[in-house]
Structure 1
């Protein structure tokens, strides 16, 4: 049997260590699917229900493993569906290869059915982006696509016309000779470990040693540098503030951290940013400038392996273009240390904040408080559990009530902040780590978008646990409308409310519906103990506000104006806000 282009592609992927592809077949990639079939003993094709989920799974796989994520879709609409998940990968700097189909070369440009020029469509999302036109191209361009994705931590895209897919790999209609060497061993592709320059380190140490009120802001780029971040924080006497994607960098119960920053962050973190005189940024280009110190009012040291990100948010006095771990290791011996008073102040502030958050996890509240649901998950989950999350109010509850300790991890769509990746992420991560507990904490809105993929988990015997925070609304959008000064509009679903537990049971998995606070703990405990996929659908208080860590005057003003202009559900909302404040005062 002659080797076709589809098979050559798959062999090349295998040579690069790829063992899993997430996708949905179609007639636009039948030749590629034949390649996967011929080598199904070495590469696993995970069949999904929606291509968007395939891209999210590839992204989640890359996030959790640090390896290349691969997704595949047919031509036209199938490939278009990949885009949301691929932008998630691009904006969060994850290596993903997208493989798509294209109409045969003889009909391109003739307005053929589903003719979408994907190389043009993907030109913004993909760093390496090519339509294959010659079988001889395959070995070299697959290598280049993968190298670009891994080295640049981004998306690559290859699209194959159907006639090229089934052409024999030796065919060369243009009589050109392309390179065909197997991929060389390139250990530098396992995330570049860039060493810092000595002059850069000395300049940074000089700035940090002069600080009276130093603070540290860490992002996901410092994930592998936990020990070094903590050591530098203790040496400087600096509180560690975390971005949301960087939540797992430092354990939440560690005394050096004040938690997250931003709308989903903590009051101590926000106040530390306002008061500090020097800021060390490590592995982050935190985009929300209003939560950062005023430009020019503080000294800034920034460590990032991507030099193009240094100075993107704030003027930087001492840049260090280096891997976070290497940069902090080089910096630590040069630090003289501070008096620790600034850190001591925010340790006390953080103790008060933690007490306030614990007070909101009140089992007696009816309707069920979403903080309580997340608190139960946090208490019962394993110390090495992986939590995935969607965008929305659930991100607030996860950020504040999911405690990073031990080997726990936390993933969500960072910069794209898209809805619906929580479930696909969990499937990919459970596939990558079959021995770990993987929990998807998702909203009813995000789950409904890609809920068919729960059946994918069942069919592949992936024991994911899903907890649906069901407020029968697009909760974050609701509160954004109010904060902007508008009465809520078109964000709550009409009756009947969804019961996603029936879908779980219909799939042959564990499913439980919870509407009373007293049933939350037992249902989640049973789901976590269940040997296969499990889902708990919890009806939570739809009027629970995801309040900012620190309320600003303009936010309070708009909130009040919206109520005065006829905010629906005002009494239920005010009742919830007052009850939350009473619980905090009791803590």
Structure 2
């Protein structure tokens, strides 16, 4: 049997070390699917129910493993569906290869059914973006696409017309010059860590040595350098603030950290940013500039492997383009150790108070159920190497504040795109990559409903993911954003009947339990986590629980009050919840 182009693609993916492709077949990729079938012993195809989920799974796989994620979709609508997940990969800087189908070359441009110019469609999301038109381009263009995705940590895209997919791989219909045949051996790619320039380090030391009140802000780019981050913070007497994608860089219970920053962050972290005179940013270009020090307040050192990300949010006095681990290791012996720990001690005390406040909100006696308590039960029952994936929305607040990074725990969510619905696909991808670890998706009812069919994917592929649905029967984050803007809520709560996602989980052949009473939460979570297969807890939580910022600004409080004065629905329940939260904090 002659090797077809679809098989040549599959073989080259295997040679690059790819072992999994997430996708959904269609008549626009039948030739590619035949290629995957011929290499099914080495290349696992994870069949999904929606192409958006396939792209999220590829992104989640890349985030969890650091390896290339691969997804495939048919021409037209299938390719369109991939885009949301691909933008998630692009904005969070993870390598993903998207493969799509295209109509036969003979009908291109004739407005054929489902004809969509995917190379135009993908020109913003994909760094490498090509329609393959000659078998002789294989496998060189596959190498180029993968190298681009890995080197730039972004999205690459290849689209294959139908007739080309089934063409003999050795065919040369046009007798064109070949782009060159790569060696038969497995492809290699050199990715040495980038060391810091000595002059850059000296400038950084000058800035840091001159500082009296130093803060560190670390992101996902520092996740391979936890020991170095802690060592530098200890030398500088600096508290460590973490971005949400960088949550697992440093344990949450470590005495040097003040937790997250921004609307989902902590009060000590926000205070710290307002009072520091020097900021060391490592592996982050934190997108919310209003939470960073003002240009006249603090001098800034920023370390990042991508020079284009340095100085995006605040003026930087000492840019260092380098790998975080190498830069911090080189920086450490050059720094003057701080014996005065007063600044650090101040924020350690503030963080101790904050932790007490957060613990107080995990009130088992509140009815309706407090979402903080639900997350607290998950945190208490999960293993020390558990992976938590999360959707965007109010649930991200509860996860950020009540999921404790300790041991080898990990945390993944859509960082810069902040899209809904990746929580379950991320979990499926992470469970596939790490079959021996506990993987938990903490999702809202809104995000889960968008791609809930993928729970069936987990059952069919025997992936024992655990899903915790924080069910407030509304789009909670949007509700509170409307209120903060000074508007009464509108069109953010679902009508009756309420969804019973536990029934869906059971219908899929998994374990499902519906929880409505506070006294049942802890046991339901423990039972689900102990179940050997896919399990889901659908927990009805207080729909009027506000995801309050760590530090409420005057304008936020003003708009909140104005919205209520204009006739905010559910006024009494919301005010009662806010009052109860404050009482619990004061009692702690």
Instruction: Give CA-to-partner distance per residue, 1:42-75, whole Å, 9 cap, x none.
Output: 1000000000000000000000000000000000
For residue 110 of structure 1, give the secondary structure of its aligned residue in structure 2: coil
SS of match in other structure, 2:225: helix
CA distance in 1, matches of 2:52, 2:295: 39
Greater shift in the superposed pair: 361-370 or 331-340: 331-340
Aligned to 1:263: 263
Give 1:25-64 correspondences, 5 Å limit: 25-64=25-64
Task: State the 1:354 CA deviation.
Answer: 0.2
Who is 2:533 aligned against? 532
Residue 305 of structure 2 is matched in structure 1 by 305
CA contact (8 A) 1:469 1:538 kept: yes
1:111 correspondence with 2:103: no
Match of 1:84 in 2: 84
Give the deviation of 1:432 after TM superposition: 0.2
1:565 is matched with which residue? Answer: 566
Question: Which position in structure 1 is the counterpart of 2:139?
Answer: 139
Shift of 1:287: 0.6
1:185 Cα deviation (Å)? 5.0
Equivalent runs, 1:248-327 vs 2, <5 Å: 248-327=248-327
Task: Give 1:432-581 correspondences, 5 Å limit.
Answer: 432-581=433-582
**Which residue is 1:186 aligned to?**
188
State the secondary structure of the residue aligned to 2:223.
helix
Q: CA RMSD in A?
A: 0.8
| 1:477-530: CA deviation from partner (whole Å, max 9, x where unpaired) | 000000000000000000010000000000111100000000001110000000
Describe the SS at the equivalent of 1:212: coil
Instruction: Report how far residue 187 of structure 1 moved.
Output: 5.0
Q: Which ranges in structure 1 are unaligned for 5 or more consecutive residues?
A: none
**Consecutive unaligned residues in structure 2, runs of 5 or more:** none
Matched residue of 2:190: which SS? helix
Contact 1:296 1:315 in 2 (8 A): no
Do the aligned partners of 2:15 and 2:187 also contact (CA within 8 Å) in 1?
no
CA shift for structure 1 position 202? 1.1
What TM-score, normalized by structure 1, do the two folds share? Answer: 0.99
Q: Distance in 2 between matches of 1:50 and 1:568?
A: 36
After superposition, give the CA deviation of every residue in 1:341-364 in whole Å (9 maximum; x if it has no partner).
111100000000000000000000
TM-superposed CA distance for 1:188, in Å, is: 2.9
Measure, in 1, the Cα distance between the counterparts of 2:234 and 2:344.
9
**SS across alignment from 1:264:** coil
Distance 1:331 1:410, change over 3 A: same
The answer (yes or no) to whether the contact 1:470–1:538 under 8 Å persists in 2 is yes
* Equivalent-residue separation in structure 1 for 2:72 and 2:267 (angstroms): 43
User: Does the CA contact (< 8 Å) of 1:387 and 1:441 recur in 2?
Assistant: yes
Between the aligned partners of 1:215 and 1:87, the Cα distance in structure 2 is 31
3-state DSSP of counterpart to 1:101: strand
Rate the CA distance shift 1:38–1:185 in 2: closer, same or farther, 3 A: closer
3-state SS of 1:263 partner: coil
* Cα contact 2:75–2:103 (8 A) shared by 1: yes
**Greater mean alpha carbon deviation, residues 197-206 or residues 491-500:** 197-206
Counterparts of 2:215 and 2:10, CA distance in 1: 48
Which runs of at least 4 in structure 1 moved beyond 4 Å after TM superposition?
Answer: none
| Cα distance in 2 between the residues matched to 1:422 and 1:295 | 36
Superposed CA deviations along residues 376-431 of structure 1, whole A, max 9, x for unmatched, are 00001000000000000000000000000000000000000000000000000000
Counting matched residue pairs gives 585
What are the equivalent positions in structure 2 for 1:89-488 lying under 5 Å apart? 89-176=89-176, 177-182=178-183, 186=188, 188-189=190-191, 192-338=192-338, 339-488=340-489
Can you list the C-alpha shifts for 1:21-62, whole angstroms capped at 9, x where unaligned?
000000000000000011100100000000000000000000
Partners of 1:281 and 1:417 in 2: CA distance? 22
Q: Give the Cα separation in 1 of the matches to 2:317 and 2:550.
A: 29
Other structure's SS at 2:6 match: helix
Aligned-partner Cα distance in 2 for 1:32–1:187: 25
Q: How do residues 60-75 of structure 1 correspond to structure 2 at under 5 angstroms?
A: 60-75=60-75
Superposed displacement of residue 297, structure 1: 2.2
Distance 1:307 1:486 in 2: 41
Residue-by-residue CA offset, 1:507-556 (whole Å, 9 max, x unaligned): 11110000000000111000000000000000000000000000000000
* Structure 2 length-normalised TM: 0.99
Q: CA deviation at 1:296?
A: 3.2
Greater displacement, 13-22 / 173-182: 173-182
Q: What is the Cα deviation at residue 10 of structure 1?
A: 0.3
* Structure 2 Cα separation of the partners of residues 248 and 27 of structure 1: 42
Q: Tell me, in whole angstroms, the C-alpha distance in 1 between the residues paired with 2:189 and 2:407.
A: 28
- Paired with 2:460 and 2:229, the residues of 1 have a C-alpha distance of 42
Q: Helix, strand or coil: the match of 1:82?
A: helix
| 1:144-186 C-alpha deviation (Å, 9 max, x unpaired) | 0000000000000000000000000111122122312147653
Distance 2:341 2:320 in 1: 24
Q: Give the deviation of 1:193 after TM superposition.
A: 1.0
Are the counterparts in 1 of residues 277 and 299 from structure 2 also a CA contact under 8 Å? yes
Q: Partners in 2 of 1:264 and 1:577 — Cα distance? A: 17
Distance in 1 (CA, whole Å) between partners of 2:267 and 2:174 is 65
CA contact (8 A) 1:64 1:429 kept: yes
Matched-pair contact (CA < 8 Å) for 2:240–2:256: yes
